[in-house]
Every structure is written in C-alpha cells, then in structure tokens.
Amino acid sequence: MIVRNLQHVRDRITTACFAAGRNPATVRLLAVSKTFPSEAVMDAASDGQRAFGENYITEGVEKILALNVNGAAAVLSPLEWHCIGPVQSNKTRLVAENFDWVQSVDRLKIAQRLSEQRPSGLPPLHICLQVNLDGGANKSGVPASEVLALAKEVAQLPGLVLRGLMSIPEPAADFVAACAVHQRTKDLFDAINASGELPARMDTLSMGMTADLEAAIHSGSTMVRVGTAIFGVR
C-alpha cells in the first residue's frame, strides 16, 4: 500500500513538474510520517524514500532511534530526518542531537540554542525558516517583513546552515488561489537571495502538501512535504 501510494505521489510530482516546465529532479519529496509507526517508515525506505518529516519531537526521536538500531539505516543508505513541527526551548537539545534538518525555525532564540547544542561530531543542522505570509493569526511563522533580518542572523550561527524557507498556508479554495499564496513565498525567497545580504544563496523552498503540491510546484517549490497521500489518513 505505502509503496503504491509513494509511486502515485512521485507520478503527481513528475506530472506537475512537466506542466510547469520544470525538471522533476529539482523537487524533493519529504515523506511526513508523523503518527505512523517505524514499520511504515521502513516500508517507504525499502522503496528508496530517504527523507522523512516528523512534527512531534519525542515521537520523532523514538522513531529515529528505533530505526538506527533495528533497521533501515544498517541495510539501506542512511535516512534523513526533518523536524517540521513547533520546537519549544526545552526540546532544542533533543532536536539538535537527532535530526538532520529543522524546517520550523521562527525565532532567533531557538536557532541559537540549536546551534549551541548541535554535537560537534555531526555536520551542521540544515535550517529552513518557517514563514507566515497569509497572516494566519494563531499560526507560527515569521512575517514577511522580518524574514531577511532573521535569515542574516541564522546564517551566522556556526552549528547551522541556512537552506531556505518553509510555509504552511491556510487551505486555499482552488488551484489559482493556492498558487497566489505560494507565489508570494517564492517572490520573498527570490528577493532575499537577490539582496546579496546572505553569505550564501538559499536553495530550498519547502512548500506544498498532499492537497496543494501541484500548486506549490507550479510556484517554484523545491521540496513538497507529503503525509496523507503516502501513509493514509491520520
């Protein structure tokens, strides 16, 4: 089931890329495995899926450790783990010690703790700043006017490498409306890169989920985060 679902999602990504005149190799698939057991991750990994996303820190770390001991990592090439949920200060150490990416950074204080707590034997933690461009009031994410300033600070932190931006827009009415919101994120991403104020260009624009991955790819997403279409309804 998971393998068939994965194939279907890969087909959707390829079709969306062709429709947008893009090379499918420019869009990565992050499989969002939150609430599903490590066996489900193993199934996807056995079909070549490498990158997995988790929202809840303790649940994610349990899976990472279980798979390191039992399985996938030993047999297959190493998995890559992305934290995509809110990170409280008291969880930064767990995140810094176990994940490869954090896509949900929206405060300098959290970034500083992640940098300080990243073990020196590991490569820097890959970071995306979570942005909030549609003004969802009770949602996390940096408002557009503050993204460049935070990006400049994060890019200086030694334990981190700034890779890009991540967005979770409110559900849109249709394809055109979804594209409009994603396009604002893409425009901000391009503007920050063009500003020349970062030491290195960002290369990751993480947007698009099960419902809106076509619109996100149309608007320039380089990483779609898909849960339901791969693992089923939560």
Q: Which stretch in 1-9, 107-115, 175-183, 209-217 sits in contact with ligand PLP by CB under 6 A?
A: 209-217
Minimum separation from the CB atom of position 151 to ligand PLP (A): 19
* Cα gap 86→11, rounded to integer Å: 30
Selected from 110, 111, 168, 217, the binder of ligand PLP by CB under 6 A is 168
Minimum separation from the CB atom of position 120 to ligand PLP (A): 29
**Position 84 contacts ligand PLP (CB under 6 A):** yes
Selected from 46, 55, 112, 183, the binder of ligand PLP by CB under 6 A is 55
**Position 27 contacts ligand PLP (CB under 6 A):** no
- By the 10 Å C-beta count (0-12 exposed, 13-18 middle, 19+ buried), 196 is classed as exposed
* Cα gap 82→55, rounded to integer Å: 9
User: Which residue's CB is nearer to ligand PLP, number 79 or number 209?
Assistant: 209
Torsion, Cα 175 179 180 183, to 10 degrees, reads: 180
Q: Which stretch in 17-25, 157-165, 186-194, 205-213 sits in contact with ligand PLP by CB under 6 A?
A: 205-213
Minimum separation from the CB atom of position 92 to ligand PLP (A): 18
In 3-state terms the chain splits into helix, strand, coil percentages (rounded to 5) of 45, 20, 35
Three-state secondary-structure class, residue 125: strand
How many residues touch ligand PLP under the rule CB under 6 A: the total is 12
- Cβ count within 10 A of residue 112: 16
**Position 225 contacts ligand PLP (CB under 6 A):** yes
Residues 13-35: b if buried by 16+ CB within 10 A, e if exposed = beebbeeeebeeeebbbbbbbbe
* Cα gap 50→6, rounded to integer Å: 12
Selected from 159, 164, 220, 227, the binder of ligand PLP by CB under 6 A is 227
Binding site for ligand PLP (CB under 6 A): 32, 34, 55, 84, 168, 209-211, 225-228
